[in-house]
Amino acid sequence: MTERDTVTVSGADALTYLQGQVSQDLLSMAIGDRRWTFLLQPTGKVEVLAAVTRAGDDAFLFDTDFGFGDLLSARLARFKIRVKVDIGPIERISGGDFADEAARIEAGWPAMGSEIVPGETIPAETGITEAAVDYKKGCYPGQELVERMDSRGADAPRRLRILDVDDGVKPGDRIELDGRDVGVLTSVAGHRALGYVKRGVDLGTSRDER
């Protein structure tokens, strides 16, 4: 089983505070609902990819990839000024949406630390904005870049692709096509891999093409 880091956010102002911090809409969530969301830097770069579960009227449970709980907790607290919000300690749980690395790669799902580098990756590159972004909600840090790329139909400089690979390749290896350097591998399991491929290069498949 995979392990996840979790952080609970609760308090009378938890819903309104979090609604202004995450890319996902929380107002429409019923108790027990779980959704993916980005927490972004003001520049629009991804700080953390997490799932959020509404645990109660005024309580939310965030979970992210193992080892990134501290970053998640710090980002959740960054703009907490004069609000009735408590951020609990980091805890660890077993579980998650993908039983193993091969299943995650086959699903084209990005992971923190490999496909998502905090402060460097932009949401449009990851291929999961349809799952983690609500374009109809109100403002949150980093929204301007996300909305601008969507409204203009702009292509990201690179895109996450699911690829067939040879024996012996590893994350960090360059992706080549017809002798050209067109990207870099980020995760590998057997003969399947994830990697970022430059805009305009037809190689591999995207998550929505599966």
Distance CA 157, CA 114 (A): 18
Strand partners, 159: 197
CB count, 10 Å around CB of 158?
19
In the numeric block, which tokens belong to residue 147? 């909305």
In the numeric block, which tokens belong to residue 137? 């909600």
What is the homologous superfamily of the domain 3-152 according to CATH?
Probable tRNA modification gtpase trme; domain 1 (3.30.1360.120)
Taking CA atoms, 174 is separated from 28, 179, 186, in Å, by 42, 11, 10
In the numeric block, which tokens belong to residue 79? 């703009």
Distance CA 66, CA 44 (A): 23
Q: Mean pLDDT over all residues of the chain?
A: 94
In which residue are the tokens 């969507």 written? Answer: 150
Beta strand 86-87 with 174-177 is: unpaired
Q: Give the pLDDT mean for 32-51.
A: 98
Show me where the domains of the chain are located. Answer: 3-152, 158-209
More confident residue, 57 or 93: 57
What is the arrangement of strands in the sheet containing 180-189, beginning at the earlier edge strand?
158-164, 192-198, 180-189, 174-177
Q: Give the pLDDT mean for 156-161.
A: 94
Q: Indicate the pTM of the whole model.
A: 0.94
Name the pLDDT band for 1 (thresholds 50, 70, 90): low
Nearest 5°: the CA angle 95, 85, 75 is 60
In the numeric block, which tokens belong to residue 8? 């609970």
Name the pLDDT band for 148 (thresholds 50, 70, 90): confident
First to last CA, the chain: 24
Name the pLDDT band for 46 (thresholds 50, 70, 90): very high
Name the pLDDT band for 155 (thresholds 50, 70, 90): confident
The tens digit of pLDDT for each residue in 86-119 reads 999 999 988 767 868 999 999 999 999 999 999 9
